Amino acid sequence: MTGRTQGLLGLAIGIAVVIALPLVVKSSFAIDIFIRILLFSFIGVAWNLMGGYAKQLSLGHAAYFGLGAYTSTILQIDFGISPWIGMIAGGLVAMLASLPIGWLCFRLRGPYFTIATIATAQALMLIFLKFRDLAWGAEGTTIPNLGSAPLMMQFETKSAYYYVALGLLALGLAITYLIERSWMGYYLVAIGEDEDAAEAIGVNAPRIKRDIYLISSFLTALAGTFYTQYIYFIDPATAFSFNISIEAALVSIVGGIGTLWGPVIGTILLETTSTLLQSWLGGSIGGVQLTVYSLILMAVILWRPTGLMGMMREAWQRFASRKPARA
């Protein structure tokens, strides 16, 4: 078998497994964890487009998560518009917001770009906290529970949410796959390697960065809408939580920055670790989860900057080179 057919076979088996998973696993605790894995993989995939390929290391993606969440919730509660439409509207609002934010932040490079993105996300959170007329202030609001209302993105079974999250992740991966193989993907990698050199050979770096930021913020906003519908609650502290920004970057770096499957692998590792820790320690001690996450992150940076994807590729190459060469 060639590598390509092997890859396709693996992908087909993988798809069959993830589609069948909720049919086999009935525990709602387990499905809840699967949904978290799918959702954070998706957020990681959205971050990775900009942070991974173009190395624009944002720690402010909560801004778009929050804007998506608030747009669809305001449309639903104040105007009775379905969150399915609100989700797209939220994506568009996020894209609009990414233009001025990008205009400001892309003036800085490296660490100061990162700091500027943190500040913009925090500023948005403060706006939603301070201006009570805008949207419920600090108390937030609960989403009215309509029972089974698929048209309003409300389902009675957890497995329905599972398939929505799976659909989002599939969308994110498909977009990443297409971009990776297009001229844009090569431009992104060129900017990530050395922005000045990329510009010297004719890459319009400001435009490419703006465009990828638009796509990345649109996708992140979809996740915000889904999450709010899933937990039936919104407030500035959850919608614009710094932890969202951290986890988006963390799963990509741990899994393998700038790779298609990196964010997915990273999320599986981190979420599994966090679930195991919570079941051992009872989740009573604050700070345990992020302590472990930060240790994993430091270990990856110091010993395996290519992440788990890089480790797996090396292991596979060692394994493959041990076999006798075929004619």
- Can you give the binding site for another protein, defined by CB under 8 A? 55, 57, 59, 104-105, 107-112, 114-116, 119-120, 122-123, 126, 130, 246, 249, 253, 257, 285-291, 293-295, 297-298, 301-302, 305
| Residues in the chain, total | 327
Q: Which is nearer to another protein, 109 or 313 (CB)?
A: 109
d(CA 37, CA 74): 27
Run of H or E including 311: helix 307-322
d(CA 298, CA 188): 26
d(CA 46, CA 52): 10
Q: Which residues contact 235 (CB under 8 A, 6 or more apart)?
A: 136, 138, 139, 140, 141
Three-state DSSP class for residue 13: helix
CB of 286 to another protein, least distance (A): 5
Q: Which is nearer to another protein, 17 or 299 (CB)?
A: 299
d(CA 141, CA 326): 64
CA 16 to chain centre: 23
CB of 21 to another protein, least distance (A): 31
CB of 12 to another protein, least distance (A): 33
CB of 214 to another protein, least distance (A): 20
Q: Which is nearer to another protein, 43 or 153 (CB)?
A: 43
Q: Which residue spans within 123-195 are E strands per DSSP?
A: 141-142
Q: Which is nearer to another protein, 109 or 181 (CB)?
A: 109
CB of 126 to another protein, least distance (A): 6
Q: Which residues contact 83 (CB under 8 A, 6 or more apart)?
A: 72, 73, 75, 76, 152, 153, 225, 229
d(CA 98, CA 88): 15
Q: Which is nearer to another protein, 11 or 276 (CB)?
A: 276
CB of 287 to another protein, least distance (A): 3
φ, ψ dihedrals at 73, nearest 5°: -70, -40
Q: Which is nearer to another protein, 8 or 298 (CB)?
A: 298
CB of 24 to another protein, least distance (A): 36
Q: Which is nearer to another protein, 44 or 91 (CB)?
A: 44
Q: Which is nearer to another protein, 96 or 301 (CB)?
A: 301
Q: Which residue has the tokens 């500035």?
A: 236
Quick check: 109 and 58 in contact, CB under 8 A?
A: no
Quick check: 265 and 189 in contact, CB under 8 A?
A: no
AA identity, residue 127: I
CB of 123 to another protein, least distance (A): 4
